Amino acid sequence: MIKKYFAYILIAFSLLPVSISSLYAQRRPPTQSEQATYLPLVQMWLGQNWEQKKDLGDGVYIAQKITEVTYCCLDEDDNGHVHIIDIKFHAKYYDRNRMIEEKDMAQRVLFKCADGRIVDWDASPAYKLEEVT
């Protein structure tokens, strides 16, 4: 009985990597047509939403100037596409209108797109470029 139980566990764990890898099988580079369609859409969205000063509370805010936008890849599912964009930017932190810090940063942003428009987005934590060597 115990051998049979361990056999089931072994089968389950041997199938697990196959099922997990199938979740990521849809990631691919964009076609030229997709890049021509979605990169300008993403850049327009970034210009309207990203480069605005953001209030961090208590008189502190951040101003971000984008320096580079790279279209990494996209994931496909039944509900549309998730476009994976890498952004580099120069960040300036202010405290009551006095600059307290500035640094070059990078961040990966996921854009959920359907019918040629952005319907949702999510960003990973930003990191200083000097941290990546």
Q: Per-residue pLDDT for the chain (133 aa), expressed as one digit of tens each? A: 555 544 445 444 555 444 444 454 478 999 999 899 889 999 999 988 888 888 999 999 999 999 999 999 988 877 778 999 999 999 999 999 999 999 999 999 999 987 778 999 999 999 999 865 5
Q: What is the pLDDT of residue 133?
A: 52
Only one residue has tokens 């890898």, namely 21
Q: What is the pLDDT of residue 10?
A: 45
pLDDT tens digits for range 22-40:
454 478 999 999 899 889 9
Report domain extents, the chain. Answer: 27-131
Question: Tokens representing 62?
Answer: 């951040």
Which residues touch 121 (CB under 8 Å, ≥6 apart)? 45, 109, 110, 111, 112
Q: Residue 87: beta bridge partners?
A: 69, 107
Q: What is the pLDDT of residue 34?
A: 87
